[in-house]
Chain A
Amino acid sequence: MENAESILVKFDQLIANLEADAAHDEHKLRDAAVEADVLEPERERILEVTNLSKHFGDTMAVDEINLTVEAGTIFGIVGPNGAGKTTTLSMITGLLRPDSGVVMVHGANVWSDPAAAKRQMGVLPDRLRLFDRLTGSQFLYYAGVLRGLPKETVRERMSQLANTFGLGDSLSRLVADYSAGMVKKISLAAALIHSPRLLVLDEPFESVDPVSVASIVDILHKYVAAGGTVVLSSHSMDLIQRMCDSVAIIVDGKVLSLGAVDDIRGEGSLEEKFIELAGGVTTVEGLEWLHSFSD
């Protein structure tokens, strides 16, 4: 019996070695093919969402959503108000427990191995409070240390982030006294501080001034060029069309359209396609009195 078992173990090892060799060879072959411009470099699927669902009472907020996001891209989620964008993003980031479905981030399941999955993610939630009785610098320091960074690294990155986002003097003020746009900026800085592989941003540009939007977009492009991945939701179709590689249009908790931005919009703009999918513009009737003015 013992002999038989040891033979089986040896056999398993042999198979494993063979498989590893094969994988190694395949990898080499692929690299060579990529170098020779025969093949596109394969990108890791950093985020895979499978059959994700969530209901609140009788309404299905998110209904069997499937998404795949490749590393090194910017992925946009658009949809009308109440379509389930925030619910989806909350379940991806581990802030809201789904009814069913799987979320894998860089190979780790967010809901069964949160430690590994959450370490890879930087999160900017929409409409959640911050610890706003802290000053800006205290808040960034708090976020950095909670993410496990050593003190010196946090201090160094804090000052760099403050420069980049133009936070400067306001770091010494309480976050409670910030304007809405400033709150977005400091939240984004806090989401970036541990240099995550995947950034999940819910409405990152809401109430942010155009100059800051431009600089944030610039930061995100550089981040993606270095191999990072961004998943974001926004109401600004124009912005999504310009900056995203691929996009998902969500209406009533379902993905209506998914793919590269250029494939989805076709001839027209993304906005036109979106309005068409979302059910078109309601024709305005009976507001004739609006055409003459009261004194």
Chain B
Amino acid sequence: MVAQLLGLKLRLLGNMFRRSPWQVFGLVVGLLYGLGAAVAVMAGLVALRSVESSLAQSIVVVGGSLIVLGFLFVPLVFGADDTIDPRKFSLLGIPTSRLALGLAAAAFIGVPALVMTLISAAQVVTWSRSGPATFVAVVSALVLVVTCMLGSRVMTTMATLLLSTRRAREATGLISLLLLSAITPLIAVMVTVDWLARGIPVLHSIADVLAFTPLGAAWAAPGFAAAGNDAAAAGTMAIAAAFLVALWFVWRVLVATMLVTPERESHTHTYSGLGWFSYLPATSAGVVAARSLSYWGRDARYRSALVIVPIVPVVMIGALSVAGVPITLLLLLPVPIMCFFLAWSTAHNDVAFDNTAVWLHVASNIKGTSDRVGRIVPPLALGLIVIAVGTPLSAWGYGSADVVPSLLGVSLCVLFVGLGLSSVISAEFPYPAVHPGDSPFAQPQSSAGAASWVQGLSLLAVLAVTAPTVWLAVLGILYGGGWHVGALLLGIATGIVALGGGIRLGGRVFEARGPELLSFTARY
């Protein structure tokens, strides 16, 4: 049984290299990245051999705990590709214990296991300072590899069990995004700690706690053995072993549960009335706008773009202020940047987001301009709200109302030009997008080539068209006076021309290429 499952996993791994060249390229890059990271960590661990033992232990415990944490939570947050889901074996009638053992063993085949084995082995080198320490380190290495692999299996299976409903998957996507954005201030705080003076005491106090948790116990045991603290070594080893046993029991129970749990029925929500459709006119453009607004509210792919919009300027301001740019100038940035992301992030590939559902537009022979106008209503409305609320706030933060015309000009220009260009690009150059219902972080099944050049060129195009307005605004900030009004007028003029032209041209392209767009979405 075990041998067969190991063989199956090997075959699955081998078959990953039989896909398209681009996917193989991606895989190889991933493999090299993983191995590169492993080699770097190994070099560090080997170097730690000559470092005084309590410091080396603290470093190993903190770093090692992060690694274990990664193995446990990465599959939960990003949804690991579960090729050997226990449910897939439920019809074969294999006894649960044998299946649990076989599937656990199969988890040891793969890049993560290889990386973890290399790191654990390097950790033995760190502690090969005395006989007992080396022995404890070897035991730790075994415990660590098994803990990480089994832990990641348990978490993956939990994720598929708990997150099997669409709503749950979408919710996790959003929560993980918020967590990621919460990490940014954390990093900012970490940067402000005076590591040279206070770093080592902070490290020691973190390590002291982690050493007696399941995350760090196995990493700490060899260090205690090297320092001659046998009681602590035995204690931490016991914690690590107990965690491993607990993981095994959880795994055994999970496999047994999964075998008798079919895919979960999703609890459905009901909506009354027509929603946005009842507030917008009953024209082609009106209903496409209502549909887009509903999607921006309900579809995780649009919502994650919305969540990113306020985060980007915060991160940018943080980075630039660290670099020494005065904060009053930086306060002028958020509104134009948010406008840019609203106008560009999803709109420039909106047709691909529909996937094959766009057939309805083709079969109804909807006017291209109606389609284009309807699709840009949500980002346009949100952008105008951001401008209305954000411009006075920015000017207030900057300390002068003189910049208001420039700020308005640049923001409107970025918003309109972005939407105008997106209207053409989404009809002319669609590239594979995440499918409806998939996690916003899932990678679409295709080459990254088309995506990156469409994204890059469209971004450059928006920047190029808005550059004159931005230039006038900069002159206004430097010399004041009429330049601000110039920026406002030029911004509105370029914006309106680009938006009108973009909608018209995009509409013509959409009408001419409707069937081709549908064929494109059907391929991915």
A interface vs B, CB < 8 Å?
93-97, 114-115, 118-119, 121, 123, 125, 128-135, 137-138, 141-143, 145-148, 150-151, 154, 169, 172-174, 176-177, 190
Contact = CB atoms under 8 A, between A and B. Distances in A.
Given A142-B291, A145-B283, 19 more contacts: A95-B515, A96-B518, A114-B365, A115-B365, A118-B365, A119-B365, A129-B355, A132-B357, A133-B299, A134-B294, A135-B270, A135-B271, A135-B275, A137-B274, A142-B360, A145-B282, A145-B287, A173-B269, A190-B360
A146 B366 contact: yes
A258 to B, nearest CB: 26
Contact of A133 (B268, B361, B436): B436
Contacts of A128: 356-357, 359, 518, 522
B362 interface: yes
A143 B277 CA distance: 12
Contact of A130 (B277, B286, B357): B357
Nearest to A121: B363
A148 to B, nearest CB: 8
Contacts of B166: 176
B272 interface: yes
Interface string B135-168: 0000000000000000000000000000000100
9 contacts: A97-B515, A115-B365, A123-B359, A133-B299, A134-B294, A142-B290, A146-B360, A172-B270, A176-B166
B325 to A, nearest CB: 41
A83 to B, nearest CB: 18
Interface residues of B, number: 42
B353 to A, nearest CB: 11
Contacts of A115: 365
- 9 shortest A-B CB distances, which residue pairs? A151-B282, A118-B365, A146-B364, A128-B356, A129-B357, A172-B270, A177-B268, A145-B287, A123-B363
Contacts of A154: 282
A150 B286 CA distance: 12
Nearest to B284: A146
Nearest to B267: A177
Contacts of A123: 359, 363
Contacts of B518: 95-96, 128
A172 B273 CA distance: 7
A199 to B, nearest CB: 12
Interface centre among B268, B282, B291 (most CB of A within 10 A): B282
Contacts of B522: 128
Contacts of B284: 145-146, 148
B364 A133 contact: no
B519 interface: yes
A148 B294 CA distance: 21
Interface in B356-386: 356-357, 359-366
A176 B437 contact: yes
A146 B359 contact: no
A64 B141 CA distance: 68
B294 A138 contact: yes
Contacts of A142: 277, 287, 290-291, 360
B380 to A, nearest CB: 20
A94 B436 contact: no
Nearest to B271: A135
B362 A95 contact: yes
Contacts of B271: 135, 172-174
Interface centre among B287, B288, B290, B364 (most CB of A within 10 A): B364
A169 B290 CA distance: 22
Contacts of B282: 145, 150-151, 154
Contact of B363 (A94, A129, A132, A134): A94
A236 to B, nearest CB: 24
Interface centre among A145, A147, A148, A154 (most CB of B within 10 A): A145
A117 to B, nearest CB: 8
Nearest to B266: A177
A135 B271 CA distance: 7
Contacts of B363: 93-95, 118, 121, 123, 125
A282 to B, nearest CB: 27
A97 B269 contact: no
